[in-house]
Amino acid sequence: MIAIAYAWPAIGVFVVATLLILGGAVGVLIYKNPVHAALSLILCLFGVALAFLAQQADFLAAVEIIVYAGAIVVLFLFVIMFLGVDRTEALEGEPLVGQRTFAAIAVTLVVAGVVFLMASSHWVTGVPSVSTGGTPLSAGAGNVRQIGTSLYTTYLIAFEVTAALLIISVVGAVNLARKERPRVGESAQ
Amino acid sequence: MNVPAAWYLVLAALLFGIGAFGFLTRRSAIIMFMCIELMLNAVNLTFVTFARSLSDIGGQISVFFVMVVAAAEVTVGLGIVVAIFRRRASTSVDELTEMKG
């Protein structure tokens, strides 16, 4: 009954995105080999990018693929192969008794609670933004224009701070991963 | 006409649940980081859905900043994993018991 009110292409896109997202996420959960889990993560991220595309977030869909699938997962794979931990992790046996059971119960309660709260409060409440005059967000090039305008005016300070954050994290990562060498003048221990 | 926002919100909640379950049960630090990414993406999907429903570009800006923070977090986190692996030759979080009281 709901299906008739909405266009079939939109439903098809949603179904494909759901399959990609949930399939990829379950893959991360069950694959023992970290490399397979990372590839499964890429599948999930493509599903998220598809869901972004279907909701007028074109720029974010592109960034999702470039940054997440292109950079972050490659970083994961790089570390996995650098460390040589692509052997399988034993999934059997729990160091804490009943860890999985308690985790499953807790997660089920949280998800069910969130969905129940949203369902009992009409899912989305609030007034449409006045910045766009109540018109729907534009797609395509208009989306990039809207994001760029907002980013370089309203959120300019936050944008500048992310630059500092990225520099700090890069320096920190290099410092952490560097091999410690005895300094000149100190005796090697 | 797009599908209702509720569908995407439920999908995001399920994705968050899978990520949280993986984070609580897997023992490899690298896989735990992947599960954190899953949870972050679930929240991103929620932001984009709300942005669409309320015609507010602010939701998409939030996703942009979440992505930046996620990239920084993964960089530092994997640096820590590499540093730990140098000492312990393992990425299992169960073996990090030095601070046990």
pLDDT (tens digit per residue) in B10-22: 999 999 999 999 9
Name residues whose C-beta falls within 8 Å of residue B78's C-beta, 6 or more positions apart in sequence: A75, A76, A79, A173, B30, B33
Tokens standing for residue B94: 């169960």
pLDDT above 90 coverage of chain B, percent:
54
Q: Which CATH class is domain A1-89?
A: mainly alpha
Name the closest residue on chain B to residue A71, using Cα atoms: B71
Amino acid at B93: V
Q: Using CA atoms, how far apart are residues A87 and A15, in angstroms rounded to an integer?
A: 34
Chain B hits for A174, CB-CB cut-off 8 Å, are 79
**Distance (Å) from the alpha carbon of B15 to chain A's nearest alpha carbon:** 7
* Assembly ipTM: 0.91
Q: Is the pLDDT of residue A14 over 70?
A: yes
> Phi and psi at residue A131, in whole multiples of 5°?
-65, -30
**What mean pLDDT is predicted for residues A32-45?**
92
**Distance (Å) from the alpha carbon of A186 to chain B's nearest alpha carbon:** 22
Domain parsing of chain B, residue ranges: 5-89
Name the residue among B3, B21, B86 with its Cβ closest to that of A29.
Answer: B21
Tokens standing for residue A96: 């804490």
pLDDT above 70 coverage of chain A, percent:
81
Task: Give the pLDDT score at B70.
Answer: 92
As a CATH number, domain B5-89 is 1.10.287.3510
Give residues 29 to 88 of B whose Cβ lies within 8 Å of A. Answer: 30-31, 33-35, 37-38, 41, 44-45, 48-58, 60-61, 63-65, 67-76, 78-83, 85-86
DSSP secondary structure letters along A107-146: HHHHHHHHHHHHHTTTS--SPPPTTTTTPPPPPTHHHHHH
Name the residue among A5, A28, A165 with its Cβ closest to that of B34.
Answer: A28
The three-class DSSP label of residue A185 is: coil
Local confidence band at B88 (pLDDT 50, 70, 90 cut-offs): confident
Give bridge partners of residue B28 from the DSSP assignment: B92
Domain parsing of chain A, residue ranges: 1-89, 140-179
Give bridge partners of residue B92 from the DSSP assignment: B28
The three-class DSSP label of residue A93 is: coil
Report CB contact under 8 Å: A166, B71: yes
Assess contact for B15 and A22: CB atoms under 8 A.
yes
Amino acid at A109: L
With b for 16 or more beta-carbon neighbours within 10 A and e for fewer, the A19-36 pattern comes to ebbbebbebbbebeebee
Q: Max CA-CA distance within chain B? A: 58
pLDDT one-digit tens code per residue, B50-79: 998 888 888 899 999 999 999 999 999 999
Tokens standing for residue A152: 């370089």
Q: Which residue has the tokens 């073996």?
A: B95
